[in-house]
Structure 1
Amino acid sequence: MFTHEMIASFNELETSLYNYISQHSEKVAYMRIRELADETHVSTATILRFCRKINCEGFSEFKVKLKMHLEGNKKTILKDARHSVTEFFDRTLKGDIEEDIREAAKLVNNADSVIFIGIGTSGILAEYGARYFSSLGKFSLYIKDPLFPVHSSLRYNSITIALSVSGETDFTVTHLNQMKQEGSKIISITNNKHSTIAKISDINIPYYVTEEWFENANITTQVPVLYILESMAHEIYKLNS
């Protein structure tokens, strides 16, 4: 609900107001403006100015958005893990994911260098992918810092493999755009093919499982990503053999 730019624009009083709202959001959602002013020791004018800074016309609109935000963050009932895995493999058998994996493997096999990128859980899997590919004979690197210096000899005829559940992670999009401008071919593994990362990739492998969230954390199963990475590595090994 509060972006980095919004928080950076707050003055001292607005910052104290932001801190109070963050710690008492359930309570604030049902308070009157005067009650909030008394609790936080600021004027109602400060609260209204705060609301405008976060793109709300007034306190009433702010409370509506706050309630929607709280509703969206409610704890969810987690599905049985077997459901997510079965969902993926059912779709895999009916789709053309194996062909996508073979095409991606050919692209990787013809490359001189392979670079994995990703952040969060996808970053952990990107590091795993680099290790797994290297174990099967295709030396690969995981780079998590977009400012990490990559020598031109590594960028030449290189493949970048990007992992992202949403396909919209700003960090990964920025990193991927940089690698693309430097001449690297792009393979992405995302949860759908209509995301930004998928659109700027040379090959996208979507796996389509229902996304799950728990207290602002994306807990969507990553079993499909492991399957795709390991299948691709096996295809590369067969091509080399």
Structure 2
Amino acid sequence: MSFFGKIDFNTLSDTDRAIYHYLSSNSDKVPYMRVREIATESHTSSSSVMRFIRKIGYESFSDFRKEFRGDDSIVTGQYSLSFPTLTPEQFTRNLQDKLQIIAEKIIECDNVILFGIGNSGYVCDYIARRLAILGCNAFAMTDATYPISTKLKNTADNMVIPVSVSGMTTEILEIVSGLTKEEDMTIVAVTSDASSSLSNMADYVLDYRVERYRINHHDDLTSQIPCIFLLESLTNIVASLER
């Protein structure tokens, strides 16, 4: 959806975020809804919806809804085949410093666990393999029922890297919530929402911005390229520290 590119998340209030999350999760309905209906469903007000729409660059609700309707990849369920590109605006300004700090901590860790489900799980497998090649004791966890707390019971200096586009995946939140109580545990969240529940639990957040694509309501075609870029960059810094 093209309106995602107009958003500066740092300027959004809690009410704005509620509206944003409703719009992004119900993109198939929005082109046919009134302002009042969006306000009711997002538990906000009509005036708040209109302020949000103007904040992201539209002069009227009609202009916003017209552009929403024009996005065939969402309304008709057809995925855009245009190749996604990376831009500096998708990442925080202090990204390099943050990656350096996390990479140095990885070097000191006895265990590095990447945790993700679905498409994020495949990313975890890939990055865990890269870290293992570099000599890190890293592995991917893609099963939310895996007894991770028991496995790490008698260990120290552990890092868990939960990967979730929304930062709101229930299974991931439950696991991470339990791990935050463990001693010598560092949580590094990788997500597209810096204000998500997952981000709030983490010691460090590697956040990015990406358009979310879903077809048939549940099938996720959101690009993992920004996420992979962050994690590959992290492993490259680890490699440079290991030399």
TM-score with structure 1 length normalisation?
Answer: 0.63
How many matched pairs? 165
Distance 2:228 2:92 in 1: 19
User: What letter corresponds to residue 103 of structure 2 in structure 1?
Assistant: A
Q: Does the aligned pair in 2 maintain the 1:114–1:140 contact within 8 Å?
A: yes
Distance 1:235 1:195 in 2: 26
**Matched residue of 1:142: which SS?**
strand
Residue 100 of structure 1: aligned partner: 98
Find out whether 1:150 has 2:148 as its counterpart.
Answer: no
Asked whether 1:164 is paired with 2:132, we answer no
| Alignment RMSD (CA, Å) | 2.0
Deviations 1:142-195 (A, max 9, x none): 2224442314233x1100001000000000001111222223210011012011
Residue of structure 1 equivalent to 2:180: 180
Matched letter for residue 237 of structure 2:
E
Q: Distance in 1 between matches of 2:118 and 2:138?
A: 19
CA distance in 2, matches of 1:118, 1:191: 14
- Amino acid in the other structure paired with 1:135: I
Compute the displacement of 1:93 (Å). 7.5
Which residue, 133, 155, 158 being the options, matches 2:131? 133
Alignment of 1:20-99 (within 5 A): 75-82=76-83, 84=84, 86=85, 88-92=86-90, 95-99=93-97
Look up the equivalent residue of 1:236 and give its one-letter code. Answer: V
Question: How far, CA to CA, are the matches of 2:191 and 2:229 in structure 1?
Answer: 13
Specify the alignment match of 2:214 in structure 1.
213
Change (3 A) 1:191 1:153: same
Q: SS of the counterpart of 2:180?
A: helix
Is contact 2:92-2:208 (8 Å) kept? no
Partner of 1:197: 198
2 CA distance for matches of 1:101 and 1:151? 25
Taking the aligned partners of 1:96 and 1:108, their CA distance within structure 2 comes to 19
> In structure 2, do the counterparts of structure 1 residues 80 and 101 end up closer, same or farther at CA, with 3 Å as the change threshold?
farther
Give the C-alpha shift of residue 80 in structure 1. Answer: 3.7
Between the aligned residues of both structures, percent identity stands at 21
Cα displacement (A) at 1:92? 5.0
**Does the 8 Å contact 1:136/1:234 carry over to 2?**
no
- 1:161 aligned counterpart, secondary structure: strand
Structure-2 change in CA distance of 1:96 and 1:79 (3 Å): farther
Long gaps (5+) in structure 1: 1-72
SS in 2 for 1:182: coil
Runs of 4+ in 1 over 4 A off after TM superposition: none
**Considering only CA atoms, is the larger Rg found in Structure 1 or Structure 2?**
1
Contact 1:137 1:237 in 2 (8 A): no
Aligned mates of 1:110, 1:81 — CA distance in 2:
41
Distance across 1 between alignment mates of 2:201 and 2:164: 13
How much does 1:77 deviate? 4.1
8 Å contact from structure 2 (residues 187, 202) kept in 1: yes
Q: Greater helix percent: which structure?
A: 1
Question: SS in structure 2 opposite 1:153?
Answer: coil
Q: From the superposition, tell whether residues 153 and 240 of structure 1 become closer, same or farther in structure 2 (CA, over 3 Å).
A: farther
The match for 1:237 is 239
Any stretches of 5+ residues in structure 2 without a counterpart? 1-73
